[in-house]
Amino acid sequence: MKVFKFGGASVKDAAGVRNVARVLGHFRTDDLLIVVSAMGKTTNALEDVVWAYSEGRDTRGLVDVLREQHHTILGEVAPSDDQARFQLDNMFRALQQVLAQRSSGLVDEDYDHIVAFGELWSTIIVSAFLNTSGFANKWLDARRIIRTDSRFRDARVQWEALSDTCAAHLPTFDPGPKRMVTQGFIGATDKGVTTTLGREGSDFSAAIFAYALECESVTIWKDVPGMFSADPKRFPDTTLLRHISYREAIELSYFGASVIHPRTLQPLQRKSIPLYVRSFIDIDAPGTTVDHNSDNDSLIPSFIVKPAQLLISITPRDLSFVVEENLSGIFWMFAQRNVRIDLMQNSALAFSVVVDDSPRSRGLIEDLRKGYEVRYNDGCELVTVRHYDEATLARLTEGKEVLIEQRSRSTARFVLK
């Protein structure tokens, strides 16, 4: 079986849904598990519903827009599928029932319950359309397969439960290609409470299913033709990375390359399942292959630029040395506030970190100020260059002030202003 993942951008409207069938047309005889995200910007819209609900505001207008959009798309791609319309109606009714009750006050739990509907709606529509266009398939509720803990909005997968949940809940098939359509991003606790795996988590879901079912490959179909040496939307002369190793892809996504979700690679690496990143527009283009082979990793310098960074420097008020004791307290505060450190540097008297500039980071600065002297620089850029050469570094730092520079054998990192 192959796993295909289609993101929100690939199914944002009726044309996008039809394009999924065009892609599948190249894989008519394959067994496929098709993982689909919420359509277009649905997840953002559902987040607005969550905030309104948790503040006790009226959510009906927001939900009406979403119902209208989804029914319109279903009407365009599968107009005579009464069963799908009924199923979609039911899912909207289920959301309304949630919203009719008072908020539990547990915002993260409410969030997962509400936001998961985006994926449920989109997969009903895609599954229905494929069934009417010659790709018989079964709709699968991912929450029956992906069991997680109850860390809402960032749930951790219970890997050891996968064989049982698959044995109990995978559908059976008539002879012919086995095809399933399921949701990315969502799972459930052992009590059946809906959870999500973190924003943009559908790639990770595809990897979880591939791991559970020992699939032959995962293909992420995107609006770009693969992984590039830099963001092609920002830089003119980028190179397609045709073939890189799991390790390299993990490093690139960790440093902020946004093509694949960082957690996607580990489960694939563990079972040696190759990952392909390909264009859903240009189906014949080769795309990027990620597997164990690292022969090409160091051929092309890749770079990732993270804008809007805060460089924070933390000094004990009594000018004592920054020792393990302070550091453990400082790290604990970062973990409590869920602020991710992108880079750190230590000197005798100051500990410096780079983080995304966000309300959470600003709040953390206020917390830190209770115990430390804290200074910060905003509007910084964090540049990471893998397999750097001097020409690339010169080009990226030109005309900018270098606040921090760190180099290892394979990676150079700069904080620029």
| Residues engaged in binding Mg ion (CB under 5 A) | 8, 37
**What's the rounded Cα separation, in Å, for the pair 72 and 87?**
15
Q: Which residue is nearest to ligand ASP (CB)?
A: 202
Q: What is the DSSP letter of 276?
A: E
Nearest alpha-carbon partner for 135 in 267, 39, 262, 32: 32
Residue nearest to Mg ion (CB): 8
- Cα-based torsion angle of the residue sequence 298, 300, 301, 302 in order, rounded to the nearest 10 degrees: -100
CA dihedral 5, 11, 14, 18 (to 10 degrees): -20
288 makes contact, choosing from Mg ion, ligand ASP, none, with CB < 5 to 8 Å by partner type, with: none
For ligand ASP, the closer of residues 202 and 361 by Cβ is: 202
**Smallest distance from ligand ASP to CB 41, Å:** 8
Place of tokens 């909207």: 92
Taking alpha carbons only, the member of 13, 137, 14, 155 closest to residue 78 is: 14
What's the min distance (Å) between Cβ of 317 and ligand ASP?
Answer: 41
Q: Which does 267 bind (CB under 5 to 8 A by kind): ligand ASP, Mg ion, none?
A: none
207 or 353: whose CB is closer to ligand ASP?
A: 207
Smallest gap from Cβ 96 to ligand ASP, in A, equals 20
Binding site residues, ligand ASP, CB under 6 A: 7-8, 37-38, 43, 118, 184-185, 199-202
Q: Which does 262 bind (CB under 5 to 8 A by kind): ligand ASP, Mg ion, none?
A: none
Minimum CB–partner distance for residue 322 and ligand ASP (Å):
37
Alpha-carbon distance 76 to 114, whole Å?
A: 26
Closest CA to 2 of 33, 26, 37, 29: 33
Specify the 3-state DSSP secondary structure of 243: strand
Of 206 and 322, the one with the shorter C-beta distance to ligand ASP is 206
Measured from the CB of residue 304, what is the shortest distance to ligand ASP in angstroms? 20
Considering beta carbons, is residue 162 or 260 the nearer one to Mg ion?
A: 260
Alpha helices in 235-389 (DSSP H): 246-254, 265-270, 324-337, 359-369
Q: Which is nearer to ligand ASP, 116 or 365 (CB)?
A: 116
Nearest residue (CB) to ligand ASP, 73 versus 364 = 73
